[in-house]
Amino acid sequence: MDHRDVELLAIGAGPANLALGVALEELAPDLAARTLIVEQHEDVAWQRGMLLPWSQSQVSFLKDLVTLRNPRSEFSFVNYLHSIGRLDEFINLGSFTPYRLEISDYLSWVARSLTAVRVEHGRRVVGVEPGDVVAGQVTGWLVRFADGSTVRCRDLVVGAGRDAHVPAQFATLPRERVIHSTEFLDRVGKLDPAAPHRVVVVGGAQSAAEMVWSTHQAFPNAQVTMVMRSIGLNGYESSKFTNELFYPSFVDTFNAAQPAAREQLLQEMHRTNYAGLAPAMLENLYRTIYLEKLTGAERLRMIPMTEIANAQSDGDEVVLTLLDRKTGETDELRCDVVMLGTGFAKRMPAMTRALAAAVGVDDNFTVTRKYRMTLPASVEARVYLQGVNESTHGIADSLISVLAIRAGEIVGDLLDGRATSAPDTRPRSAAELLATVPHPA
């Protein structure tokens, strides 16, 4: 089986670890040359399940992978546009918020542009465990891949995101009847566009609304029903005062706050990211429902203040038991496909919890201000977590807003750790020696 040694391994080639790769090349070129980023997919894409051609980011292009840390960087979104000859058109568009397709292509461009940090695709991680133990100290990690290969590293950065949240009542349904937003684009493309599908979309935020709109437009004979717990669809909370809480500098304020204050901040910021819709989407949905009622061709409806108490198969149908939160009464709704806009699990990802368990740490572990997992004193090797630290670093932790600054902070902490630790005097393998040689992109 294939085995290699690297100094730093980053799992996931999404925005977080690509920002880290850029920061390494600009701040720590020696370490960059001994760094590997692995990605389970065969390409780099942003929000691949919801990469709809008309969908836009809600974040300014200036909050790219690097500009807030280094405005002169060659890895900026502006330089990307310049390099592909589309800067004039973007400026003329007059928008601060690019299309998702543009951001996704930008990320792919960054991955191709890295010259020291290596990025490998088709590398699905199936396990992480202590790799090296010297004098009772864990000094490295062993990462196992689906193809049977392994990589040993001194330090590890996990930036693969949270696990998709599939509520328990849907877990027993046949896979072909349930589509989570993370796989929407691929799965919905396999449905017959002319069939009279009965589709139920669960959720009341942006991803659920985008699935509703996309399905309604792509399947002209479909009946699309949106079921939500809330009293109705709401717009994003996006005042300039509120948006100041997305500043990278606010991470310090949040991290130092009392637990009760953190909880209040997270609750009040919920509508800025998780429970709201973009204004254009709200307008589209409302006008569509209005016009359908006007013409009598109603294919889109919404059921608010309702929970799905149970879901089961009945032949080729899915039977949903709806609980009306206003009256307490239940009703039955039959459909062909259920689409879940239910977001992501709040708990730490399974991979991270398994890693913690391997060194005797339970699920309640936390991270330092510099995103490093708090591990036992017997573990010298470091693990950094990106995008899963809202409870300690604020609601922006899973968003693009803080990527550039966070990447620089993690690199700084990595370098500090190397400055204070004893030099590694072990014999180096041929793979380790080759890893220090710069290579072309």
- pLDDT one-digit tens code per residue, 376-420: 999 999 999 999 999 999 989 988 999 999 999 999 999 997 865
Q: Where are the domains of the chain?
A: 3-163+345-435, 168-236+276-340
On the question of a common fold for 3-163+345-435 and 168-236+276-340, the answer reads: yes
CB 40 within 8 A of CB 122: yes
CB 227 within 8 A of CB 321: no
Span 12-38, average pLDDT: 97
Residue 12 pLDDT > 80: yes
Task: In whole angstroms, give the CA distance from residue 318 to residue 415.
Answer: 54
Question: How large a percentage of the chain has pLDDT more than 90?
Answer: 81
433: number of Cβ within 10 Å: 10
Residue 422 pLDDT > 80: no
For the entire predicted model, the pTM comes to 0.90
Q: Which CATH class is domain 168-236+276-340?
A: alpha beta
Q: Which CATH number fits domain 3-163+345-435: 3.40.190.10, 3.40.50.720, 3.50.50.60, 2.60.40.650?
A: 3.50.50.60
CB 223 within 8 A of CB 197: yes
Can you tell me whether residue 229 is helix, strand or coil? coil
Q: What is the pLDDT of residues 128-181, one digit of tens each?
A: 999 988 888 999 999 999 999 999 999 999 999 889 999 999 999 999 999 999
Give the pLDDT score at 420.
57
Give the pLDDT score at 438.
40
Task: In whole angstroms, give the CA distance from residue 52 to residue 104.
Answer: 11
